[in-house]
Amino acid sequence: MSATTMPTPAATEGLKLFELAAADPEVRFSPHCWKTRMALAHKGLDANRVPWRFSDKQELAFSGQGFVPVMVDQGEVVSDSWQIALHLEQRYPERPSLFGSADAVPLARFVNAWADGVMLGAIAKVILVDIHRHIDVRDKEYFRTSREKRFGAPLEAVAADTASRLAELRAALAPLRSVLGHQEFVCGASPGYADYCVFGMFMWARCISGIELLAPDDKLVPWRERLLDAFGGMARQAAIAAKS
């Protein structure tokens, strides 16, 4: 049985994962938290998943920083999705490998950096207003202020021209499209952590926005479908924010 056909496991005792939640606590939309969800499923693990909001910074004080995902594994605290992936690989070597081999870790690091550096900003420009609409009322002011500072303009102005923003995103995805024209997954014949770094970005948009990022005939669609179906359809079944 390959990693992705393994059924979604039951919650694993001793593993706790703090995940960003929308106003609806079932909607967990952070791209980085999705990388970790997929990594856990790949390892056949699950965690007690705790909803966290931007305004709950003090709840992460124990981790020494203020961003999610934060994972607690048998009392050991690990923050940052990349560090969590490395931790899971090291702590659970007998379970399916996230990277294939130690030699492949640097390349996965590049894919993660590409997803964070190129995809995240391009997708944000499409879905910022939807994120603001669906987050908890206590988070709205912080989100608006911090993101308007980051993008240098009001959220509505950044996301105003959806067609142009989508065209920019789709152009930026060309390298991914080229790779997936030759192979089933970024990692080759079966998915690995590099796939989850990219897929997490799509899950971010899927969970929080009604806007479809890809054209129906995009070569990336079949790859995304395969990952939505992985682990017993875990990602496909994830709660999404109610369209309004």
Interacting residues with ligand GSH (CB under 6 A): 20, 30-32, 54, 66-69, 80-82, 146
- Residue (76 or 161) nearer to ligand GSH, CB: 76
Residue 71 Cβ, how far from ligand GSH at the closest point, in Å?
A: 10
> Which residues are bridge partners to 52 per DSSP?
20
In the bound state with ligand GSH, the residue whose beta carbon lies nearer, of 41 and 197, is: 197
> Which one, 109 or 177, has the nearer CB to ligand GSH?
109
Nearer to ligand GSH (CB atom), residue 17 or residue 234: 17
Q: What are phi and psi of 184, to 5 degrees?
A: -70, -35
CB of 146 to ligand GSH, least distance (A): 6
For the bound state, the minimum distance from the C-beta of residue 217 to ligand GSH, rounded and expressed in Å, comes to 30
Task: Report the distance separating Cα 210 and Cα 241, nearest Å.
Answer: 8
Q: Quote the least distance from Cβ 20 to ligand GSH, whole Å.
A: 5
* Strand partners for 77: 72
| Beta carbons of 205 and 171 less than 8 angstroms apart | no
43: Cβ–Cβ under 8 A, 6 or more apart, which residues? 3, 88, 92, 95, 96, 98
